[in-house]
Amino acid sequence: MIVNKGALARVIAALLATVLIIFSLSVIDRGPKAPPDYACDVIDGAARVSIDIAAGESGSQIARELFEKGVTKSIDSFFRVAVSDPSSEGIAPGLHSIDKKICAELALTQLLDSERIGGLIPIIEGAWEVEIEKLFVEAGYPIAEVKQAFAKVEIPAPFLTLEGLLFPAQYSFANGTPALIALEQILARAITELSSLGYFTPVRNYSAPELLTIASIIQAEGDVKDFDKVSQVIYNRLRIGMPLQMDSTVNYIEKRRGQIFLSTKSTLINSPYNTYRSRGLPPSPIGNPGKLALSAALNPAAGKWLYFITVAPGDTRFTDSFDEFNGWKLIYKANLRSGKFGDN
């Protein structure tokens, strides 16, 4: 039989091409696939599990726990979402209550939801140390352990009190974290914030503890929009030796909140924190100021003001005239009587 060599070559080439195409398709078919995941539009809501996140825990560790506890359908599904979404870095340590059988994207959303964190310690701007102690107890710490932690924690120099160094933020800690360790971490956050703002470089000849005390008064006295003006009033009064006469310092002594009107009797309290009787700054902060108040203590607005008064909610006025201040005081008292300040 005579074989046409050209035809045979064409047949072999066609067969090889077919084999290559089949092989390529098989490789493509075996290529990277999306890991198994639940649908994001299906939420049972009835079944929840606790996910305990430790400080410094990696994305792969979190992904494994979510899978093992029945939250996600696979380890890789959450890991891929966490790696691609920078917000995953904000997952707080602590005990998180998470729905079962949900998609990885929703799992991340729930892990970032502060309302799902047990043992949360939400410190608000201006909170007092005694109020923060109560927050620890509300978060599940035994009273005795909290008292001991607040008594034993080491206060860094040059500060003398813990008041002012409990930086306002929402804190959560891994299950089993001792109260003392939690408190030390909050304290470390405050030192970091103060350092970044420049508190450890003397400003206007005031030390870091004095600046922190000024910031605590600013926090207690003014609306955010007026922080820089309140700051300047404090510096103006200190410069000329005028008593600060800040109601907030007396409220701190009496541990009283929500009172607009300060009685004459209260202004006569014998205490170094009573700025109606004592000149200069109180001996230490009167609360724990937030970042805006801390910044305002370093950056007061330019002005000659010596007086300020809130004549109505949202209406705070500043002046260097005592007569003008007294006129505004009459407006304030009329508004107080008419109930514009609510129940006080």
The domain ranges of the chain are 48-118, 121-197, 208-337
Tell me if 210 sits within 8 A of 281, measured CB to CB: yes
> Which residues, other chains included, contact 38 with Cβ-Cβ below 8 Å and sequence gap of 6+?
72, 73, 101, 102, 103
Identify which has the larger pLDDT, 18 or 56.
56
Q: What is the mean pLDDT of residues 18-45?
A: 64
> Looking at residues 50-68, what average pLDDT do you find?
90
Distance in angstroms (rounded) separating the CA atoms of residues 80 and 71: 15
Tell whether the model's pLDDT for residue 10 goes beyond 80: no
C-alpha–C-alpha distance, residues 270 and 276, integer Å: 10
Question: 48 and 111 in contact (C-beta within 8 Å)?
Answer: no
313-341 average pLDDT score: 93
Is the pLDDT at 163 greater than 50, yes or no?
yes
Overall average pLDDT of the 246-272 stretch: 87
CATH superfamily of 48-118: Endolytic murein transglycosylase (3.30.1490.480)
CB 117 within 8 A of CB 77: no
Terminal Cα distance for the chain, rounded: 116
Give dist(CA 329, CA 333) in Å, integer. Answer: 6
At 260 the pLDDT is 65
Asked whether 304 and 233 are in contact (CB, 8 A), the reply is no
Mean pLDDT of the chain: 88
- In sequence order, which ranges of 124-246 are alpha helices (DSSP H)? 129-138, 143-152, 179-197, 208-221, 227-240
DSSP 250-306: HHHHHT--S-----HHHHT--STT-TTTS-S--SS-SSB--HHHHHHHHSPPP----
Residue 100 neighbours by CB under 8 Å, 6+ apart: 44, 47, 48, 49, 69, 70, 71
Judged against a pLDDT cut of 70, whether residue 160 lies above it is answered with: yes
pLDDT score of 283: 97
The SS3 assignment for 106 reads: helix
Q: What percent of the chain has pLDDT over 70?
A: 88
The mean per-residue pLDDT over the stretch 161-185 comes to: 92
Mean pLDDT across 23-51 = 71
CA distance 72 to 49: 12
Extract long-range pairs of 133-137: CB within 8 Å, 24+ residues apart: 136/179, 136/182, 136/183
Q: What percent of the chain has pLDDT over 90?
A: 69
